[in-house]
Amino acid sequence: MDKGTVIVTGANSGIGLACVNELFSAGYDVVALVHTPRPEVSAHFATLNAERHNAIAEFSCDLTDFTAVKDIVTKLRHLPLVGLVNNAGILPQDKLFVMTPLADLEHCFKVNCLSAINLTQLVVRLMMRDPAKKPKSIVMVSSINALDGYGPVEYAVSKGALISLATKLARELQSSNIRVNSVCPGITATPFNPEIPAELKKLMQSRSISHNDLTAEQVASTIVYLITPASSGINGQCLQVRN
């Protein structure tokens, strides 16, 4: 049942944790990268490992510490890496563009985009060593805010950059049989989201059909689909997840 290993960032809550669970169920091993371990989630990973030996490997690191990330990826060089889900990110409180300090923009961009660029570069180098060029897939978790213009400017800009990155890499990496896509979830019921003002939430939900929040599992299903061979005809695309 071994289908290879997928790296998931932000893996111990919300969409990231839902991805780990679904990938495990689909027969993949997972490297779960987390910023701060949560005892209850680490215990859950241990339960999964009891069911299938060494299926989940959890590593704790700050993704903006590029040296630490490189050290972790070096430890993974022996694994059959077939996928990467760049899910980790921060969502700051909403404020007007003219009142947003450049330092806030810089920090958000480093966490949401540059950390994904750094990790992807390191992982792609390992993936390209595969002489058989087996199919591999990378998913950038962006946000509907990057398309609709709602929410904090630093969030929208940093998440929008991931869409462009996926499109660029899809072209560059296709010869190595590596697909790259992005996913833009709408409002999702996860601990990640701070309190969203009622009027803003209403505006964001107006673009959906049901006007309800997504579940983390709904978003994860789309992400995992893009990892699997079932989506082999999808490359360089931005999929919106709205209900």
Q: How far apart are CA 36 and CA 25, in angstroms?
A: 24
In this structure, the number of other CB atoms found within 10 A of the CB of residue 45 comes to 22
The pLDDT profile of the chain, 243 residues, written as one tens digit per residue, is 579 999 999 999 999 999 999 999 999 999 999 999 999 999 999 999 999 999 999 999 999 999 999 999 999 999 999 999 999 999 887 787 788 888 888 999 999 999 999 999 999 999 999 999 999 999 999 999 999 888 889 999 999 999 999 999 999 999 999 999 999 998 888 775 555 666 666 666 666 665 678 899 999 999 999 999 999 999 999 999 987
Contacting residues for 101 by C-beta, under 8 A, at least 6 apart: none
**What's the one-letter identity of residue 67?**
T
Taking the C-alpha atoms of residue 211 and residue 187, their distance in angstroms, rounded to an integer, is: 10
- Which residues, including other chains, have CB under 8 Å from residue 159's CB and lie 6 or more apart? 89, 112, 113, 142, 143, 145, 146, 184
> How far is residue 41's CA from residue 121's CA, in Å, rounded to a whole number?
28
Would you state the pLDDT for residue 52?
A: 96
Residue 125 corresponds to which amino acid?
Answer: R
Burial pattern 177-199, b for ≥16 Cβ within 10 A else e, equals bbbbbbbbbbbbebebeeebeee
